[in-house]
Structure 1
């Protein structure tokens, strides 16, 4: 039987025609009764879609824009259970790096489409806009400065299929749809169900990481320092390090029931519990951990556990509930879907050694007394400490609506609400400026984002004598957003009594009266080495009281769309949208797309559109303060809202929406039965991209010193800040190619061969370095070298996915191999003279990660009609990204590589992570 899956990525209006024509319950996601199965990756050419179009007759074959369709089988097969990891394996233009030691980004990792920002892809569930997460990614990861949708909160078993529209679609769906649209369709069966249990674990050998069996010692039993690099001890090793960790198990069930026994009604529920133990891909840290006594090392150096860092996936416990339901009511249908997700995650910050300045117990020292250099000095943690960051993420949403025929128009009215809350705790830590009086566990504050929606969508087919009826759709949307910041415990961010700032330009007599030390830092400066405790909870300082925020905004939108086939073989879409935002005003977008079949089975297609992305509330109002120490002096670095006095003093302006122009063109071919091929070129120019500035005033450079002096001159108590700006114009261009070949084997089964390729290149066309009041200070840069390289080269240049799926009688298999192209992992060290100011010249610590092939295998067996068994291996050949260089740089470069490269061996920019081989098994039961 021919598969005819009804896809409805798009507005509610377009789906209503399908819903009533087929009498199936789920809005924007229904299937014809003839549906049998979905192809594991990209569906066959006859699949009916309305992705990117509101016509009810569009198919994958005649769509004027490229659409990927991922089936439930493809989503639930394989060892990965996180939606973002699944998409990373199946969609070539999708990128999901997996950073570590990145604070909240460890628990909620951002993903990208076509190399653009995570917030430039619109995510829908059942055709309705999904709310974004409360977390704003402000660390040094891909997606810095963005807030994305947490797709990992949606369990795989709840998903019927995923449609990925790879084209600009702001005129059809609104803000954020610059890179494209991802629509997640929920299961809608009214009977039967499935229960699945899976278990897996990493069994891997860390490439290039030696297993240390002990330190080398001299005749006196003292550890030996490496004569070529005095930062490290010499060690005895035995091959490469082998680990087994990351135990993961999932218990999930999905089932459907007739809603109150009505024909056409359904109640579909999914519940999932997922546990993931942490992984650790750190090597052995060979730096001294303890303070020396004179020339002698502490004897504890010989027994200290040198894998004290944690570098990998955090421990996580996820619980999810999803509901999808519909109830016929005369000529109308009431529908609803809702979700709840609770995720508790524990990740790690950087380890603080016993010899760390913030491990000293300053309470036992006089203000002028430096910490003693001896084994017996007073410390807060005897061996040092590893701060832990616990995140408590609560996410829920619900949507309810009524759809039916109103005077010949298919109408849909819906309301929805979604909220994401992210609360932090810092554990096993200390605020050194409070000494022994400090807490060790802190409530570090929290973030909350919520979104309310009201949608009205209508559509009608008109017969004007064209090849097919003309679909006219129109609709309106009201959206309200709210963003809140809750401060943490006082000690989580405060500067306590065991810190005193140095007093410059004073006298010996005054310094003596203050109890300080005179002339050690500078001739007329009084400093306090016995009062040098760092501020805030180590590892993750809390959100300060000054960060308390409660802001909201609203917008109103209206759209119209025409879908027509004027003559046989020619398909067209014309769309326009108007939006009004309460915080920045109005925007208008439009789109035209067309496809022409030159001869049967061969066609050309293309589109042109303009789009926009509204500055998120996060980017406009997020604020926090952290304390950095510059030459022993605390410098408060403020992440400032653009409307704040500090940001205004530094030249900040109100954020404008990002605006894009998208052009695409391609060809489609169906040369044989079951064989389809599409090739599409895209060119996306974006103006006024929103980025986070550098930390202005937060270093020892001459420019930053001048910025601090300027801030003081205007009466600011903040000495350094960063804020969001419309900082870049960019161009993203590339090519997507997808081949799908279905090979039936008569009554025995089938093979499906899929080959997909993406080439992608980001380029900064223009920088906004309008400095305003800072223009008189030489060397000030708003968006610097490291961020520029990350922006242009921090994601794969290309990606290839080759897969073969087979089902023969009771057996099935999947063999997939993915090639991730080269990625640049930028270092912070500037290039050598005369290129220090260059944004593109290579620096001595920049590392190019070479292309890698990652291969996954799975074998399946159906034990009767109800029981299904599977075993498999992801990354079966245990491939790792290139090991980061450490020790001394080549003579031509001079100096030394960053010390953390020795023990944290892999870059967080690796597009496939760095966990190695994952072995798993799965059992499913149908009922």
Structure 2
């Protein structure tokens, strides 16, 4: 079987299962149960079901998440949602603070809600290259899986409905709200040993314990509390050291997953008060400590001669980047009714993320040479992000003599954002600074604020049987970017109970986040120094930067929904997303402009550094994405032999660059167009026989590639790294005992598939990175796990 005919094979298999489908027994869950689920995302009309939506939307249940074998939201969702893709690994601190993409767009271009309320973003911004560069997105890993009831993924432009960032779509995480139910889950997993490095560093051994319990509050009230602890060891896929050295050739550990331990709490509560008013509150609190390795420093490097002579790091050293992070969010509100069936909702959400960066097993060579001593551990500095949002929403149906009432909604939103940078230790930024990362200085430090005020109006109408029309309009005022107005029109026509057409047209707007405007850092490799300059700073202007502008977009979607037989649903949605003035990381700026900018920023060269490069965020790229989302589901009932729920979901996408600043290199352009798979198909068979369950999931990833700079020059010649199309197979089997206890074992990527190795020229000078960091299915191979869960 070749990869070229993979989509055809998937569709043929699903159609064959559909043809054999038999009527469902009433004692089992049907394949269309999810389609009958009521959604709260993408509509203001209460009671709307997935099967009635005018936009493509997926529902991922808590059970779906748990049966992936993963106990974090990013990796679990990436196995279930075809349009959601997570990068294998980031560089440096971006290996700790991870992000993902929806429909091939940047992580910043997907809005994340929790219980329908806007979630704050991470304080850290990735500058490690690739599509996730510039991403100060929501850190989904900080939300405990044990707190989640379901996730609604709206794959459509929704800026007019929800505001800035909703260019690619919306991820709405709905928390549990039980009065009585409880769960306890214990899980253990580990990756297959590395094929290229005998020192596995624990092979990513992962342990997790989570629990949730619902409590009744005075009759109709509820309080659902969740707690989670998870820890993970490093993986190590670093190639052998190719530089001249006397150390162990496998001493380097830079390529692999970060190690971390994370603790998280979540709660969701609600209670009806007097006069039918309901008070509610929910929130999450998380803390994470993590570390990630940097490149090996060799003892024969002349820059470290004084250290070796003094008996320090005589065998070389490998700096380790560390983080200590606190993430919190809490929402409180009241809601009720007015004028009969009208609804109002007033809420206040406040949350933020603080991350303290450090570097261990390092040294400041300049400080040692000048004073005879230097600490080997330093605080690099601190980034913090805080967001407070107040919402007031109204909705009411009006009888206008048509098939259904006219649903009108409107509201106001006020949002205050704050981004802070704190300086590191003196030793971290003295002269050339510490190895791996140079500390932030008082020149970098500061607090930056922004205020946003918005108002929206939404209307949904069914003027005739089977016809839905919708319109949304939102206007927002940014104190730093002025006014903007976005709109959306939607329609759906149910020609019959078995067939419907749907479509939307919308405009979008994304203001540069504060991190994109003010983030700064200095990364040091054994050869090069990369300086990230704040985009709006005077220093960046010397290198050619201009003040950032907002991104503007338009989105068109056209799809169909079909029910060709009982318990069978097929959907297909074609879309186009155009983004103007897209913000990307401009890299590799050298020469006199870079030197002047770096000097103006107060940064000096470290001993042994051969070249300086300046980076900053910039507008200047216009893109058009075209794609197709497909889904199909059915079931086969085998009577006493059990039943199977079949599903197939897929995303096909292509992004082209319409206009680009001619100074942008392939390193900027290629990740946008090529570093997400051309298609991703997920076929799943869920088998149930009384208390026995089995899940087989086959994912086919299309071709993925990226042009990467030469490892010796830091620029041209450029080399193409390719991840060929691949099938990835996941399998889980489980058994549920009568007392609610379920035991399961499984494997992700059971065939231990890894991507092709990159050209050696891109792995130099160290030879370490043999696997492409953008691989959509990772670089660690098979992940084996076992878990025990108890419902009570």
Structure-1-length-normalised TM-score: 0.78
- C-alpha change, 1:37 and 1:349, in structure 2 (3 Å) is farther
Q: Which of the residues 271, 279, 294 maps onto 1:334?
A: 279
CA distance in 2, matches of 1:286, 1:92: 38
Q: Please name the residue that 2:770 is paired with.
A: 905
CA distance in 2, matches of 1:406, 1:345: 49
Q: Which of the residues 22, 38, 49 maps onto 1:59?
A: 49
Q: Please name the residue that 1:421 is paired with.
A: 354
Paired residue secondary structure (2:75)? helix
Q: Which of the residues 401, 406, 424 maps onto 2:333?
A: 401
CA distance in 2, matches of 1:567, 1:396: 46
Determine if contact 1:606/1:665 at 8 Å carries over to the other structure. Answer: yes
Paired residue secondary structure (1:132)? coil
Determine if contact 1:885/1:897 at 8 Å carries over to the other structure. Answer: yes
- C-alpha change, 1:722 and 1:279, in structure 2 (3 Å) is closer
The unaligned stretches of length 5 or more in structure 1 are: 1-34, 212-240, 291-300, 363-375, 496-534, 699-703, 770-780, 838-842, 887-895
CA distance in 2, matches of 1:477, 1:277: 42
Decide which moves more: 54-63 or 816-825: 54-63
Q: Please name the residue that 1:266 is paired with.
A: 222
Paired residue secondary structure (1:792)? helix
Count of residue correspondences = 754
Q: Please name the residue that 1:583 is paired with.
A: 480
- C-alpha change, 1:726 and 1:52, in structure 2 (3 Å) is same
What does residue range 551-570 of structure 1 map to in structure 2 within 5 Å?
551-570=448-467
CA distance in 1, matches of 2:447, 2:201: 46
Q: Which of the residues 617, 624, 630 maps onto 1:731?
A: 624
CA distance in 2, matches of 1:457, 1:710: 47
Determine if contact 1:544/1:625 at 8 Å carries over to the other structure. Answer: no
CA distance in 2, matches of 1:856, 1:54: 37
- C-alpha change, 1:582 and 1:38, in structure 2 (3 Å) is farther
Q: Which of the residues 128, 145, 149 maps onto 2:138?
A: 149
CA distance in 1, matches of 2:668, 2:454: 34
Determine if contact 2:544/2:593 at 8 Å carries over to the other structure. Answer: no
- C-alpha change, 1:694 and 1:884, in structure 2 (3 Å) is closer
Determine if contact 1:53/1:573 at 8 Å carries over to the other structure. Answer: no
Q: Which of the residues 716, 726, 737 maps onto 1:852?
A: 726
C-alpha deviation, 1:655, in angstroms: 2.1
Determine if contact 2:705/2:721 at 8 Å carries over to the other structure. Answer: yes
The unaligned stretches of length 5 or more in structure 2 are: 1-25, 605-611
Does residue 660 of the first structure (1) align with residue 618 of the second (2)?
Answer: no
Q: Please name the residue that 1:278 is paired with.
A: 234
Q: Please name the residue that 1:458 is paired with.
A: 394
Q: Please name the residue that 1:917 is paired with.
A: 782
Determine if contact 1:831/1:844 at 8 Å carries over to the other structure. Answer: no
Determine if contact 2:536/2:548 at 8 Å carries over to the other structure. Answer: no
Determine if contact 1:39/1:70 at 8 Å carries over to the other structure. Answer: no
The structure whose residues are more often strand, as a share, is 2
What does residue range 692-841 of structure 1 map to in structure 2 within 5 Å?
692-696=585-589, 698=590, 704-705=591-592, 708=595, 721-744=614-637, 750-768=643-661, 781=663, 783-829=664-710
Does residue 49 of the first structure (1) align with residue 34 of the second (2)?
Answer: no
CA distance in 2, matches of 1:39, 1:816: 19
Does residue 544 of the first structure (1) align with residue 468 of the second (2)?
Answer: no
Largest Rg, 1 or 2? 1
Q: Please name the residue that 1:380 is paired with.
A: 312
C-alpha deviation, 1:44, in angstroms: 3.5
C-alpha deviation, 1:407, in angstroms: 3.0
Determine if contact 1:134/1:448 at 8 Å carries over to the other structure. Answer: yes
C-alpha deviation, 1:792, in angstroms: 1.1
Paired residue secondary structure (2:367)? helix
Q: Which of the residues 179, 185, 196 maps onto 1:190?
A: 179
CA distance in 2, matches of 1:764, 1:847: 20
Q: Please name the residue that 2:749 is paired with.
A: 875
Does residue 392 of the first structure (1) align with residue 266 of the second (2)?
Answer: no
C-alpha deviation, 1:845, in angstroms: 2.4
Determine if contact 2:452/2:476 at 8 Å carries over to the other structure. Answer: yes
- C-alpha change, 1:204 and 1:636, in structure 2 (3 Å) is closer
Q: Which of the residues 225, 247, 269 maps onto 2:205?
A: 247
Paired residue secondary structure (1:353)? coil
Q: Please name the residue that 2:114 is paired with.
A: 125
Paired residue secondary structure (1:306)? coil
Q: Please name the residue that 2:261 is paired with.
A: 317
Determine if contact 1:107/1:314 at 8 Å carries over to the other structure. Answer: yes
Paired residue secondary structure (2:516)? helix
Determine if contact 1:751/1:805 at 8 Å carries over to the other structure. Answer: yes
Q: Please name the residue that 1:166 is paired with.
A: 155
